[in-house]
């Protein structure tokens, strides 16, 4: 029905001359009657193509738009990523620079540079008794509280048995300390380390014999080293004395009298050095020397040679060859 209506509509639009021609040419009518159908197909085909073209255009536009959007998104992402990477690298570089500038390790060379160790050989071969002038220190008042035979025991056994304490390090009797320094005997060399930093400040070599143990037999105060040059055996000239040596200026300041010290250790208390000397068939004494001049301030007679001295609880404990002493010190 739709096609019939369409057919009459088409006929209405065809000019009258053409309609007359169609009526005259009956033999061609059979061909013409299919014209509307052909035109309809053409119209429908045109509409379909138009729709397809529209769809293709839309699709191409959409694809193009999608490609543009994708490209834009990729470029945006790439730029964002590049900016982010650049910013991250810049921040990391900045942080690294800051860390480098503020890191304590950057100042290690200037802040933690260890002092250079000074190797000093103290030559005492020509040293003679000498004393600088100066104020004389006051000696301590020493009073023997007890005296007992020890059966000729060893000093370290007496030390352990009495529960005494010296500023020793370890159990080898070759290392000790005071308020500022640590001391270590290694062979014939005395190493002096600074407390706190552990820096080795000095390595000293000077002539002295060793006992079977060595107590705290060295002291460094204000750049002045106090030591003892001990010779085992009978008394000889220029032996068994104490000395003071300026390590900064490599200068001997004083040397005490002969045969004033051959004990295993000595004690520095205030401005006084307490040490001992004795040997077979010789007098045995406990000496007090002036710290600044080396002069003998006082001496206390003992029955035998004093070897190890311990100052503890305001009391001086003295081990000798065959006697032990307890001495009150004031």
> Is residue 228 within 8 Å of 251, Cβ to Cβ?
no
How many Å apart are CA 196 and CA 305, to the nearest integer? 37
Give yes or no for residue 228 having a pLDDT over 80.
yes
Kindly state whether residue 108 falls inside one of the protein's structural domains.
Answer: no
Residue-wise pLDDT for 315-329, tens only, equals 999 999 999 999 999
Kindly state whether residue 8 falls inside one of the protein's structural domains.
Answer: yes
Among 201, 157, 208, CA closest to 181:
201
Element (H, E) at 148: strand 142-149
Residue-wise pLDDT for 189-198, tens only, equals 999 999 999 9
Is this model's pTM higher than 0.75 or not? no
Residue with tokens 């014209």: 35
State both tokens at 27.
């033999």
How many Å apart are CA 104 and CA 120, to the nearest integer? 34
Kindly state whether residue 270 falls inside one of the protein's structural domains.
Answer: yes
- Which pLDDT belongs to residue 115? 80
Range of the domain at 175: 118-329
Domain count, the chain: 2
**Nearest 5 degrees, angle CA 177-CA 180-CA 181?**
45
Q: Say yes or no: 130 and 257 in one domain.
A: yes
- Which pLDDT belongs to residue 198? 96
Phi, psi of 31, rounded to the nearest 5 degrees? -80, -40
Q: Say yes or no: 80 and 138 in one domain.
A: no
Phi, psi of 50, rounded to the nearest 5 degrees? -60, -40
Kindly state whether residue 112 falls inside one of the protein's structural domains.
Answer: no
Phi, psi of 298, rounded to the nearest 5 degrees? -165, 160
Kindly state whether residue 277 falls inside one of the protein's structural domains.
Answer: yes
Give Cβ neighbours of residue 21 (< 8 Å, ≥ 6 apart): none
CATH number at residue 269: 2.40.128.630
Q: What value does the mean pLDDT take over residues 76-96?
A: 43
Kindly state whether residue 236 falls inside one of the protein's structural domains.
Answer: yes
Kindly state whether residue 50 falls inside one of the protein's structural domains.
Answer: yes
Residue at a domain's end among 48, 67, 102: 102
- Which position has the higher pLDDT, 98 or 134? 134
- Which pLDDT belongs to residue 2? 53
> Is residue 215 within 8 Å of 308, Cβ to Cβ?
yes
């Amino acid at each position: 029905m739709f096609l019939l209506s369409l057919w009459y509509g088409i006929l209405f639009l065809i000019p009258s001359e053409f309609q007359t021609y169609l009526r005259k040419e009956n033999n061609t009518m059979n061909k013409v009657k299919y014209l509307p159908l052909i035109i309809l197909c053409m119209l429908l085909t045109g509409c379909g193509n138009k729709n397809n073209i529209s769809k293709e255009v839309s699709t191409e536009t959409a694809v193009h738009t999608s490609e543009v959007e994708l490209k834009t998104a990729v470029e945006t992402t790439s730029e964002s990523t590049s900016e982010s990477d650049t910013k991250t690298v810049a921040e990391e570089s900045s942080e690294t620079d800051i860390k480098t500038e503020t890191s304590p390790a950057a100042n290690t060379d200037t802040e933690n540079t260890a002092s250079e160790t000074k190797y000093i050989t103290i030559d005492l071969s020509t040293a003679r008794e000498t004393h600088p002038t100066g104020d004389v220190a006051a000696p301590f008042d020493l009073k023997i509280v007890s005296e007992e035979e020890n059966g000729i025991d060893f000093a370290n056994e007496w030390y352990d048995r009495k529960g005494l304490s010296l500023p020793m390090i370890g159990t080898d009797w070759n290392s000790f300390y005071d308020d500022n320094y640590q001391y270590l005997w290694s062979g014939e060399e005395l190493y002096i380390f600074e407390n706190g930093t552990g820096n080795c400040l000095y390595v000293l070599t000077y002539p002295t014999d060793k006992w079977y143990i060595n107590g705290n037999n060295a002291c460094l105060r204000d750049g002045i080293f106090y030591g003892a040059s001990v010779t085992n055996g009978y008394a000889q000239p220029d032996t068994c004395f104490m000395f003071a040596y300026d390590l900064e200026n490599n200068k001997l300041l004083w040397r005490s009298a002969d045969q004033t010290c051959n004990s295993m250790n000595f004690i520095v208390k205030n401005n006084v050095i307490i040490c001992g000397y004795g040997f077979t068939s010789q007098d045995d004494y406990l000496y007090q020397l002036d710290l600044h001049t080396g002069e003998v301030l006082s001496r206390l007679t003992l029955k035998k040679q004093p070897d190890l001295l311990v100052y503890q609880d305001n009391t001086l404990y003295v081990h000798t060859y065959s006697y032990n002493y307890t001495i009150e010190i004031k």
